[in-house]
Amino acid sequence: MLVSSPDPVIDANLAIALDALLTEHSVTRAAARLHTSPAAMSRTLARLRRILQDPLLVRAGQTMVPTPRAQALREEAAAVVRSLGALLGPGASVDPAGLSSTFTLQAADLVGAALAPGLLQLAQREAPGVSFRIRAEELEAGPALRDGRIDLEIGSVDHVDPETEVEELVVLRMVAAVRPGHPLTEGPLTPARLAAAQHVTVSRRGRFTGPLDTVLAAQGLQRRVGVVLPGHLAAMTLAARTDVVCLVPAALPGAAPSPLTQDAGALGLQLLDIPLDLPPLTIGMAWHPRHTADGAHRWLRAAVRRTLRTPTAAAEVTAPGATGPG
C-alpha cells in the first residue's frame, strides 16, 4: 500500500532550492541567489528536511555545514537543475553549418528565380548541408503548410488560414517592360498609349484582366490582351521578342533594386513608369506556427529575408524616360 506524503516530492522549485542551499551552505546566501527572502528560504529548508528526513545543513559555530546525506545529494541536485534548465529553457541556437535539411518553398516562377541564386549562395557559405525544393503555386497554402508539404510560402500572401504566421518582406510597384526600340519607348507614356499597345498577362487561372484593367476602365480605357501565360518568366521572354507589353514588379522610387526585376534586365527589357495609380504589390512569406521557434526554420526565414531585401548588383536596362533601377 502506497502512503502519500503531505509534501509533494516532485517539485522543480524544491530541487532548485536544494541546489542553492547545498552550494551556498547558507540560508541567507541561497535566498539572495534565488532572489527570495531569507524567511522564505528558511521555510523551504524546513520542507526539504521533512521530505528527505535529514537536517541537510546543521550549525557549526557561525557557519552551517552539510550532513553526509546532503554531501551525497549535492552533485545529483546540481545535475537535476542543469537538466531542468535544458528542458525548460529556450531552445539552443542552431549552427547552420551543421544542418542537413531540404526545405520546400512554394513561390511563383519569378519569385523562385529571384530567390534561388541568393539562397544557394547563402547555403554554400553558411549551411552547405541545406538544399531547396521550390514548387510552383500548385498547392493550397494553408493546408500544405499545416501538414508539412511545404515549409514556406513566398509571394503575394492573401489566402492564409487564421493560424498561419505571415511576415511582409518587400513592397513593390508594377512597371511596363518592353523590348528595346518598342514604340512606347519613344515619347511620353500616356494611359491611352499604354492601353492601345498589345499586352501579355500572367495568370495561373487563365484570366485576361487584372488591377491594371480596373484602373484603365476608370478612365474609359481598355487594353488589348493578346495572350495569357501562366508564368512571369515566359511573359518577359515573349516581351523581349515581340511588341507585347509585360508588367514587371520593381522597387519603389528611392528604394534599393529588387532581385525580382533582375531577370527583366537580363532579358534586355526596358522598364517604363506607368502613369496610373496602381495598387502596390506586397511580397511576404507565410509559415505554420509550429516552425516559429525552430532554429533551422528561423535560418531559412532569415535567408529568404536577406535574399529579397538585399540590393542586387545586376543593372536594370532603361530607356530615355524610363524608370531607373527599381
CA distance 19 to 121: 48
pLDDT at 243: 96
The pTM assigned to this predicted structure is 0.69
Instruction: pLDDT band for 293, please (50, 70, 90 cuts).
Output: confident
122-174 pLDDT tens trace: 999 999 999 999 998 877 767 889 888 999 999 988 766 778 899 999 999 99
**Residue ranges of E strands in 130-272:** 130-135, 152-155, 165-178, 198-202, 224-229, 246-251, 270-272
Work out the angle at residue 91's Cα, subtended by the Cα atoms of residues 88 and 94, and round it to the nearest 5 degrees: 165
The set of cell numbers assigned to 248 is: 514587371
Instruction: pLDDT band for 324, please (50, 70, 90 cuts).
Output: very low
**C-alpha 58: how far from its chain's center?**
56
Beta bridge partners, 177, equal 246, 271
Of 172-181, 231-240, 317-326, the one with minimum mean pLDDT is 317-326
Q: State the average pLDDT over residues 278-307.
A: 93
Instruction: pLDDT band for 1, please (50, 70, 90 cuts).
Output: very low
- Three-state DSSP class for 317? coil
pLDDT at 5: 47
125-135 pLDDT tens trace: 999 999 999 99
Q: State the average pLDDT over residues 241-259.
A: 94
pLDDT at 61: 82
Instruction: pLDDT band for 89, please (50, 70, 90 cuts).
Output: low
Compare 269 and 77 and report the one with higher pLDDT: 269
Q: State the average pLDDT over residues 195-221.
A: 94
Of 8-17, 65-74, 193-202, the one with minimum mean pLDDT is 8-17
pLDDT at 153: 94
pLDDT at 2: 40
Residue found by looking up cell 526596358 in the block: 270
Count of other CB atoms within 10 angstroms of residue 79 = 12
CA distance 85 to 236: 55
pLDDT higher than threshold 70 for residue 311: no
The set of cell numbers assigned to 88 is: 525548460
CA distance 297 to 103: 9
In the chain, what percentage of residues exceed pLDDT 90? 56
CA distance 288 to 169: 17
Contact 151, 287 (CB under 8 A): yes
pLDDT at 307: 93
